[in-house]
Amino acid sequence: MSQAWQRFGWGRFTEVDLFTDRYETNIVSLSQAIRAAASEEPDADGSVLFGHIKGNVVGLRYYKGVVNPGEMVGLVREPQNPYDRNAVMVTNINGNRVGHIKRELAAPMAHIMDNNLAKVEGVVYLGTTNQFNMPVTLSFWGREENKDAVTKSLARHGFKLNMGLVLAKGTGKYNQPGAFATASKKGVTIPLTAEELKNAFDNLFEGLMESKDGEREAAESVGTPLLLHQKQALSWMCARENKSALPPFWEKRGDLYYNTVTCFSAKEVPERVRGGILADDMGLGKTLTTIALILTNFHNGKPLPVEKCEKGYSPMKAATKPLTDSKLEGSSSALDEGARVSDATAASLCSDLPQAEVICVDKPDIVDLTDSSKGKAKATKRKATKVAPKLLDDLDFAAALSGSAAPDTASKKKKTAKKATPASTTAVEVPPIPESAEDLSARATLIICPLSVLSNWLEQFEQHVRANVKLNVYLYYGAERNRSQKFLSSQDVVITTYNVLSTDFGNKSPLHGIRWLRVVLDEGHVVRNPNAQMSKAVLDLKSSRRWILSGTPIQNHVKDLWMLLAFLRVKPFDVKEWWNRVIQRPVTQGDKTGLQNLQTLVKCITLRRTKSTEVNGRLLVSLPDKSIFVEQVELSQQEREEYELARSEGRNTISRYVAEGTMLGNYADVLVILMRLRQHCCHPGLLSKTSPESGAAATPTELRERLIEKLRLVLASGSDEECAVCLESVRLPVITHCAHVYCQPCIAQVICVEKETARCPLCRSEIKTSELVEFPQEEMEEDNGTNSERWRTSSKVQALLGNLLRLRCEDSSIKCLVVSQFTRFLTILETPLREHGFTFVRLDGTMSQKKRTQVIREFQSSAAESPTIMLLSLKAGGVGLNLTAASRVFLMDPAWNPATEEQCIDRCHRLGQTKKVVVTKFIVKDSVEENMVKIQRQKQDLVEKAFGSTSANRKTSRIDDIKALMEL
DNA sequence: ACCGCCGGGTGCC
DNA sequence: ACCGCCGGGTGCC
């Protein structure tokens, strides 16, 4: 049993349902299969080595691409080659053409490559200095079922795949450890043990502080004093932007730069990665550090030149200053100068709201904007005003532009900065990155974040930038956003969301036309699926420096890292093929060298500290204590009877499935049974009014009704259903006859590609377009009709009330989070809270961003009449939510994923919390909830990272889980 | 390419 | 000589 648990990945932070989570890893490979079928790049996972052959690269003398002994080479089909449509070009890692594969071999290779029968990889060991041709070792990788076709195809042309170990001569270097280790075992690798993998992965982001350089004081325009670890982070970030060392795996050898993993060498310094991943735990101040970076490290290491207002600052007054014009342009949705967050900003957060809401503040500006933004005269004028007073008057900036020593003011600032920077670099000195004219012309930093943290950024800019400093922060959001490239690139900071970015992308996006000084991806791990439009939009941004902020950089899988490295342009791993070859496949196959390389890679570009990281024996941040109590709840006699009735019904159904071996096919039914039990534990009002049917559906209409009901239940279960195809939250949900939920477009595509053979990616049942059932739109809205029924209490409600009332007597100032996965439970709780005179607010996933911001502000307020309770839906908000006003948390029902609960608790147990945090989990005695908690505990000890487990294992485990839950 | 291959020149030694 | 041999031209796909 315990072995089975190891197969599951529980590292994800999105709220997941018991079964969805398990499916997740499975889903990934299935959706890969789907994508591969759609002839997109197949993934490295699951490939086996078919064998090697020796080939020849010819035509060397015609091309200037050079290779080193042991170097990996790329093989690129050239179907358009006028001399041979089978042509296969050979390139080095830089993509420079080296030569071609000899025609006879190119013929079968072309066939194999064009039909995606195998991935062919080449390494050159000898003859790299030959004038005309050189040998190359080719290895063929692919899915087992294609092995035969590949072997035959080669044999037809007289080539025989060799399974033996191909030793590297010459350098003695062993460059494809994964490949050759596999070869020697006939395609079966001995992976690292689960324990080794777990340790390796856990350590991937640990101990990254070791040799980071010193600390650095922020520029004086940063009003908030930085904590020690934030100064260290700032120093590290500045260093990475200014004099970043060679990228991972590069060494200087004589006059050349040499990559130790790929064996590629080049005369020129490899393009350095200006930026990296700041992966500090949440609450350590990534936002503040980033703001400090923006203000502290402009060109040539000088602070960002900013205009200062000598007198007390007022956003409204500033409108009379010379810069008004450019400011006016954006101010309807821009932050007003100085990053003051005005109500206008808050309003602009919700451009999708009725216009009246947006216009409520700053009416004149909006009017101004709408009829001026297209005026030519206006644009010219804007340019003039911008350049004159704002930029050229600034001596720092002038100095930065000319590259000469700054006049007085600047050097003074420099001194302050220097003073606090102890002789910093211990690492080998690498010359500062010379900034090209193009680089120097970049001014603005683009910050992309999820909508949920947008307001946080605005608040933090307001909070941390000195009041007399005029920082141009523009919020690029809302229908009225200013799309002028001139305007945007003249800002200091432009903030936008991933959604806006990808909406703009491909639609003459101004954001993509600008060369940014810096692009910052906040919560960078949200960009995960490389096929998504969002990823493409992000990768296409032009910038000198790139940063990823993330509290959880690896969520489940090595795969997730590719996107990050590609964004940072860590060569050559930004090219998927090299990433797969050098890192992903070796790691997924449990190869130690691969893992080491991955570790090195991550270490080089990442700074990560956790709340428990110590510096000089001190914790980075000392948070107040947190204690977690479990409060057992006894059901009343009536509740117990109802529960037992449902349980025995459910057990009967499930044991029938177990006996028939059809549990997986009846996944949704099982889910529904378990959810009913969970609902019984909370409150009878959660149970759906329609009685559970049994037996086969008599009519198609009946079946349809039943499926819709299932879909409704799945969606309402509080689990954030992820579409198994696109891996995003389900949009336009449809349910299959086998009762699995997908995005309509996603599953439609699957069916379209696979035609008659289409099968459900989750359970492999046959599926047809005609059988997909959509969720009727009108029902998407939460039915509020339940309130009319007379209200009834439940044991759990009573338990909560007891706590709340006691607490109010003891200390009425204490604020509480009341958390449930069932939003309907939150609704039910409203009645008794109101009855007992509690003031409360509610935050759930259905609320608009504006409403959320307002609710959080209300709750965080320390005013006497401010609410003391927040009813919080577990899935609402996500990371980054700051609810430090609360110091008590009541978890009304256990989550399947313990990490979700942790994350929720961390919303108040984070930086800024001054009180001890007390968490109470309500668990109904002798119920499915208790079993869930047991399972949670086992999971926590055995976090598995989606390596090496087979879907067969997972399926068995899933069945075991359900059996355990039902005590079968 | 210090090869192989092609095709023209040549033809006992 | 419908050959052999020589030596120049040539050379990725």
Q: What is the model's pLDDT at position A205?
A: 61
Residue A203, pLDDT score: 62
Q: CA A897, CA A255: separation in Å to the nearest integer?
A: 53
Nearest CA to A584 among A593, A574, A594, A592?
Answer: A594
Q: How far is the CA of A691 from the C1' of B10 (A)?
A: 104
- What is the CATH number assigned to the segment(s) A191-306+394-434+542-616? 3.40.50
Residue A171 makes CB contacts below 8 A (sequence gap 6+) with A69, A70, A125, A263
Which strand B nucleotides have any atom less than 7 A from protein CB atoms?
A: 1
List the one residue out of A321, A238, A298 whose CA is nearest residue A274.
A238
Sheet containing strand A265-266, edge to edge, reads A250-253, A256-259, A265-266
Stretch A623-652: mean pLDDT: 93
Least confident of A229-243, A431-445, A683-697: A683-697
Q: Is A231's pLDDT higher than 80?
A: yes
Mean pLDDT of A813-818: 96
pLDDT digits (tens, 9 = 90+) for A93-108: 888 999 999 999 999 9
Q: Is the CB of A109 under 7 A from strand C?
A: no
Question: Straight-line distance from CA A53 to C1' C4, in Å?
Answer: 39
Tell which wins on pLDDT, A358 or A311: A311
A90 touches strand C (CB under 7 A): no
Per-residue pLDDT band for A11 (boundaries 50, 70, 90) equals very low
Q: Which whole number is the average pLDDT over A266-289?
A: 87
- The predicted pLDDT at position A958 comes to 65
CA of residue A86 to C1' of nucleotide C2, angstroms? 38
In terms of pLDDT, which residue wins out, A430 or A160?
A160
Tell me the per-residue pLDDT of A872-904, one tens digit each, with 9 for 90 and over: 998 775 666 889 999 999 999 998 777 788 888
Instruction: Give the confidence band of A817 by pLDDT, cuts at 50, 70, 90.
Output: very high
Q: For the purposes of burial, counting CB atoms within 10 Å of the CB of A530, is it exposed (0-12), middle (13-18) or buried (19 or more)?
A: middle
Calpha distance A156→A378 (Å, rounded): 71
Which residue is it, tokens 């949704």? A668
Distance A60 CA to B8 C1' (A): 30
Pick the most confident of A147-151, A263-267, A388-392, A787-791. Answer: A147-151
Q: What is the DSSP letter of A584?
A: I
pLDDT at A395 over 60: no
* Averaged pLDDT, A465-477: 93
Higher-confidence position of A60 and A390: A60
* CA–CA separation, A583 and A374 (whole Å): 50
Residue scoring higher pLDDT (A435 or A808):
A808
Binning pLDDT at 50, 70 and 90, where does residue A280 land? confident
Whether the CB of A174 is less than 7 Å away from nucleic strand B comes out as: no
Q: Are strands A917-924 and A886-891 parallel, antiparallel or unpaired?
A: parallel
Q: Which residues pair with A447 in a beta bridge?
A: A495, A520
pLDDT classification of A434: cutoffs 50, 70, 90: low
Å between A137 CA and B4 C1'? 23
Tell me which of A697 and A353 has the higher pLDDT.
Answer: A697
Of A112-116, A192-196, A901-905, give the lowest mean pLDDT range: A192-196
For the CA of A328 and the C1' of C2, the distance in angstroms is 96
Residue–nucleotide distance: A75 CA to B6 C1' (Å):
31
pLDDT 10s digits, A733-784: 788 877 777 888 888 888 888 878 888 877 777 888 887 877 664 444 444 4
Predicted local distance difference test score (pLDDT) of residue A315: 40
Chain CA centroid to CA A261, Å: 27
> Given this model, what pLDDT does residue A698 score?
58
Indicate the pLDDT class of residue A3, thresholds 50, 70 and 90: very low
Answer yes or no: is A132 CB < 7 A from strand B: yes
Domain residue extents for chain A: 44-184, 191-306+394-434+542-616, 313-383+445-513, 793-965
Chain A residues 538-567 within 7 Å (CB) of strand B: none
Quote the percentage of chain A above a pLDDT of 70. 68
- Determine whether A812 is exposed, middle or buried from the number of CB atoms within 10 Å of its CB (0-12, 13-18, 19+): exposed
pLDDT per residue over A529-552, tens digit each? 888 889 999 999 999 999 999 876
Cα atoms in the Cβ-side hemisphere of radius 13 Å centred on A864: 0
Confidence (pLDDT) at A539: 94
Tell me what pLDDT residue A461 has. Answer: 94
Strand locations in A128-249, DSSP E?
133-142
Hey, which of A13-22, A352-361, A547-556 has the most confident mean pLDDT?
A547-556
Smallest CA–C1' separation from A130: which nucleotide? B1
Query: What phi and psi, each to the nearest 5 degrees, are found at residue A433?
Result: -70, 120
* A171-185, A618-632, A714-728, A846-860: the lowest-pLDDT one: A171-185
CA dist A855 and A534 (Å) reads 29
Whether residue A494 is predicted with pLDDT greater than 90 in this model: the reply is: yes
- CA angle A489–A495–A496, rounded 5-degree value: 110
Looking at residue A510, its pLDDT comes to 93
The nucleotide minimizing the C1' distance to residue A106's CA is: C13
* Residue A497, CA distances (Å) to A521, A537, A829 in order: 9, 12, 34
Bases along strand C below 7 A from a protein CB: 12-13
At the second CATH level, the architecture of A793-965 is 3-Layer(aba) Sandwich (3.40)
Give per-residue pLDDT as tens, A502-523.
999 978 899 999 999 999 999 8
pLDDT at A611 over 50: yes
Give residue A878's pLDDT. 64
Distance, CA of A555 to C1' of C2, in Å: 78
Average pLDDT over residues A361-370: 31
- A44-184 and A793-965 share one fold: no
A629 CB contact with strand C at below 7 Å: no
* pLDDT tens-place string over residues A14-34: 222 222 222 233 333 323 333
Whole-number pLDDT of residue A872:
94
A94: Cβ under 7 Å from strand C? no
Q: A559 falls in which pLDDT band (50, 70, 90)?
A: confident
Integer-rounded Cα Rg, in Å, for chain A is 30
Per-residue flag: A62 CB under 7 A of strand B: no
Indicate if the pLDDT at residue A614 is higher than 50.
yes
**Tokens 């050979």, residue located:** A90
Q: What is the pLDDT of residue A760?
A: 82
Task: Indicate the average pLDDT of chain A.
Answer: 74
Residue A61, CA: closest nucleotide via C1'? C12
Distance A36 CA to B13 C1' (A): 73
**pLDDT value of position A226:** 92
Q: Percentage of chain A with pLDDT > 90?
A: 35
Tokens standing for residue A516:
């940014």
Closest nt by CA–C1' to A58: C12
How many separate helices (H) and strands (E) can be counted in chain A? 35, 29
Which of A52-66, A355-369, A926-940 is the least confident region? A355-369
**Residue A775: predicted pLDDT:** 66
In terms of Cβ atoms closer than 10 Å to its own Cβ (0-12, 13-18, 19+), residue A453 is: buried
> Contact at 8 Å (CB) between A151 and A50?
yes
Sorting pLDDT into bands at 50, 70 and 90, what band is A183? very low
C-alpha angle A747-A845-A749 in degrees, rounded to nearest 5: 10
Q: Give the helix/strand (H/E) hosting A632.
A: strand A626-633
Q: Is A857 within 7 A of strand C by CB distance? A: no
- The residue among A201 and A446 whose pLDDT is bigger is A446
CATH of A44-184, one of 3.30.450.20, 2.40.50.100, 3.20.20.70, 3.30.70.2330: 3.30.70.2330
Q: At A377, which amino acid appears?
A: A
Q: How far apart are CA A587 and CA A321, in angstroms?
A: 58
A324-342, pLDDT tens digit by residue? 333 333 333 333 333 333 3
Q: What is the rounded average pLDDT of the residues A230-247?
A: 88
* A239: CB within 7 A of chain C nucleic strand: no
What pLDDT is recorded for position A613? 74
CA pair distance A605, A245, nearest whole angstrom: 10
More confident residue, A245 or A639: A639
CA to C1' distance (Å), from A247 to B3: 43
Q: What 3-state DSSP class applies to A564?
A: helix
Query: Straight-line distance from CA A159 to C1' C9, in Å?
Result: 32
The predicted model gives A780-808 an average pLDDT of: 77
Q: How confident is the model at residue A557 (pLDDT cuts 50, 70, 90)?
A: low
Has residue A245 got a pLDDT over 70? yes
Residue A774 CA and nucleotide B13 C1' are separated, in Å, by: 98
Confidence (pLDDT) at A843: 93
pLDDT of residue A409: 36
Output the pLDDT for position A621. 72
Specify the nucleotide whose C1' lies closest to residue A107 (CA): C13
- Looking at the predicted structure, is the pLDDT value of residue A650 above 70? yes
Average pLDDT of the segment spanning A802-818 = 96
Strand C close to A85 by CB, under 7 A: no
Helix (H) or strand (E) holding A76: strand A71-77
> Average pLDDT in the A256-285 region?
87
Residue pair A766/A758 in contact by the 8 Å Cβ criterion? yes
- For A348, A407, A417, A473, the CA distances from A469, given in Å and listed in that order, are 23, 20, 18, 12
* A622-CA/B11-C1' distance, Å: 102
Q: For position A841, what pLDDT does the model report?
A: 96
